[in-house]
Amino acid sequence: MGAEKKLKAPKKATEAELRAIHIKPVPDEEKPKVALELLRRYKDEWRSLVMAMETCVKCGLCAENCHSYLGTRDPYNIPAKRADLVRKVWKRYFTPQGRLFGWLVGAEDLTLETLEMWYSYFYQCSECRRCGHVCPFGIDTCEVTMAARRILHQLGMVPKLHATTGAAMLKSGNHMGLTPAGIQDTLEFLSDEIEEENGFRIEFPIDKPDSDILYIPSSADFMLNPETLKGAARFFHYIGANWTITTRMTEAGNFGYLFDQALVQKELVNRLFQEAVRLGAKKIVWGECGHGWRAIKMYYNTMADLPHRIPITHILDEAAEYVKRGLLKLDKEKNPEPTTLHDPCNYVRACGLSENMRVLIKAACADFREMEPNREKNFCCGGGSGILFDDPDMYELRIKFSLKKAEQIRATGAKVLCAPCSICKAQFHPMIEEHHLGVELYGLIDLVGRALVWD
């Protein structure tokens, strides 16, 4: 089952790193038994997993629609075949034909080697859901990836990147481990830059009580994408918003959604709403992070242990409504370069942001060029679901995963790439260089902020 070739897999977290996310690793000899018990439990709990296991007819349509397979041509990156790594076990233990006839019907025992295959290939799936979009039966094989990752997590087979990122969030409220003092220093520096660029100062309110809006940026915006923070500040200042950023939960992303929904994701959702209550916020506005927006928008009603709900919206939806109502004066010529838009997977295949992103980019940019395909048919950046590994083998795969996206960008002739998602930006920074694309990278609220006309 693939033992003849060396598996490419992300570096695993150490025991100390696992303890930081409240995981005690299962001994190797016990892993298959525990994994089977967990799979049996999820079989009873996840109807979507049962559908994926029992409905696929191997038509192959998902193959040419998966960026991971197109970039690597590894058959185990065909979504249906990747799901078969679980399906063979499912047949062996949960179907009469598998129990009776075993390998004759494609059933296999669950072994430690099987789990290593899971660890390799379910961390090569970016959970983009494009396969589910094109499947004639509507099978979302991302559900298989999520189930497999969750099992691996409980066994203690967790990528170092995911474990350390989750631990940083649990400790500091953000991926980067930023301290309140570091956050304040960065925001003061960005206010200085805005003053130099605009001729007037815009402050970033921090931990301000009784704010109407609590804005949740990605912590990567403090390190890699400062223009996104500046764009958000310009927008809020322009509309006269009473807003703030909290130093306790400065993170739009939620890595718990990518490997541990039961503990890490739920904990971070609750901390966020507790912080909103502490500051008396009337509304939460989310920053540019695709998986983070899905993790909060689709799950907070069932995960937040609060007596009431605080309204939550995305900054791009907010800004688009102001454009539609004629309340933002924008000058397209401030963004004159040919510009194309990358559709973050979680925005367009889960959260309905396709059209509002286009409302904004058409209002803010003079020469907007669509990629093909686009909207819900887009291809992933190749780094989704936290596949941002720097291990040499995995970094090579990251770049291969982005081949299809690089072709799309190059075909537009654009000089500016707009990617309104923090993980997409983290993937694009090296991808642009590796594929020699020659484009500048911005978020969408960055471009809106640059195009604002100040009276």
| Residue-range domain boundaries for the chain | 15-163, 170-320, 328-451
Distances from the Cα of 162 to the Cα of 38, 114, 175, 255, 271, angstroms? 21, 21, 10, 7, 19
Contacts (Cβ under 8 Å, ≥6 apart) of 420: 288, 316, 341, 342, 344, 347, 357, 443, 444, 445
Model confidence pLDDT, tens digit, residues 230-260 = 999 999 999 999 999 999 999 998 888 888 7
Buried b (16+ CB within 10 A) or exposed e, 400-424: bbbbbbbebbeebebbbbbbbbbbb
**DSSP, res 45:** H
Contacts of 317 (CB under 8 A, 6+ apart): 353, 356
pLDDT band at 37 (very low <50, low <70, confident <90, very high): very high
Q: What is the pLDDT of residues 198-230, one digit of tens each?
A: 999 999 999 999 999 999 999 999 999 999 999
Query: Is 355:370 a contact under the CB 8 Å cutoff?
Result: no
Mean pLDDT of the chain: 93
Task: Tell me the three state secondary structure of residue 283.
Answer: strand
pLDDT for position 346: 94
Residue with tokens 């063979």: 88
User: Is residue 3 scored above 60 in pLDDT?
Assistant: no
Phi, psi of 284 (to 5 degrees): -105, 130
Same fold, 15-163 and 328-451: no
Q: Can you give the pLDDT at residue 233?
A: 98
Q: Is the pLDDT confidence value at 314 over 70? A: yes
- pTM of this structure: 0.92
Instruction: Report the SS3 class of residue 206.
Output: strand
* Alpha carbon distance 366, 381 (integer Å): 24
Instruction: Indicate the burial class of 206 (C-beta count within 10 angstroms; 0-12, 13-18, 19 or more).
Output: middle
| Residue 349 CA from chain centroid, whole number | 12
Burial of 180 (0-12, 13-18, 19+ CB in 10 A): middle
Instruction: Say which residue, 165 or 309, is predicted with more confidence.
Output: 165
**Half-sphere exposure at residue 237, Cβ-oriented, CA atoms within 13 angstroms:** 23
**Residue 238, pLDDT score:** 97
Architecture in CATH for domain 328-451: 3-Layer(aba) Sandwich (3.40)
pLDDT of residue 5: 62
Q: Across residues 84-112, what is the average pLDDT?
A: 90
How would residue 305 be classed by pLDDT, with cut points 50, 70 and 90?
confident
Instruction: Check if the beta carbon of residue 71 is closer than 8 Å to that of residue 403.
Output: yes
Q: Whose CA is closest to 90, among 62, 114, 125, 121?
A: 114
Residue 432 has a pLDDT of 97
Share of the chain above pLDDT 70, in %: 98
pLDDT of the residue at 307? 64
Considering only CA atoms, which of 387, 420, 376 is closest in space to residue 131?
A: 376
Mean pLDDT of 61-87: 95
Give the mean model confidence (pLDDT) for residues 108-134.
95
**Do the beta carbons of residue 154 and residue 7 sit within 8 Å?**
no
Taking each continuous run of H as one helix and of E as one strand, the counts in the chain are: 24, 8
272's tokens: 């966020």
DSSP-derived letter for residue 199 is S
pLDDT tens string 373-414: 999 999 999 999 889 999 998 999 999 999 999 999 999 999
* pLDDT band (50, 70, 90) for residue 1: very low
Calculate mean pLDDT across residues 345-360.
95
Q: How far is CA 83 from the centre of its chain?
A: 21
Which of the four CATH numbers 1.10.10, 1.20.120, 1.10.3470, 1.10.1060 does domain 15-163 have? Answer: 1.10.1060
Q: Confidence class of residue 2 from pLDDT cuts 50, 70 and 90?
A: very low
Helix (H, G, I), strand (E, B) or coil at 159: strand
Section 332-336 average pLDDT: 97
Out of 3.30.2010, 1.10.3710, 3.30.1370, 3.40.50, which CATH number does the structure's domain 170-320 have? 3.40.50
Residue 449 has pLDDT above 80, yes or no: yes
Mean pLDDT of 290-295: 90
Instruction: Give the pLDDT score at 258.
Output: 83
